[in-house]
Amino acid sequence: MVTSIQDVISLWKEGAAGKIAIVEDAGTTTLGPILSKLAGVVCKTGGIGSHLAIVSREFSIPALMGTKIRTDEPLNKRQAIIRPNGGVEGLLLVSDS
């Protein structure tokens, strides 16, 4: 979960390429330094008109906005895929492998 600039710096250092970032706020412009390297963005707030959604589209990065995550398990370091359904909705699929 990216909640601060420190989280972005950590991702920058370990390498953001191919990772899906989960963020709390759709207004997050903090992702700027790593956004173009990410494989996707999942945001707990916002919608298709949110700044993060618009910028993600410009970078051709899949984004799920206003996402409800229904687990209490940590998602860090797990395999995940963003699967759009062809409309304005999609799924975040998470596995243990």
For residue 10, the model assigns a pLDDT of: 92
Do residues 40 and 62 touch, judged by C-beta distance below 8 A? yes
Across 40-44, 53-57, 84-88, least confident range: 84-88
Domain of 30 in residue numbering reads as 5-95
Domain count, the chain: 1
At 4, list the tokens.
């601060």
The CATH number covering residue 28 comes to: 3.50.30.10
Mean pLDDT across the stretch 16-40? Answer: 84
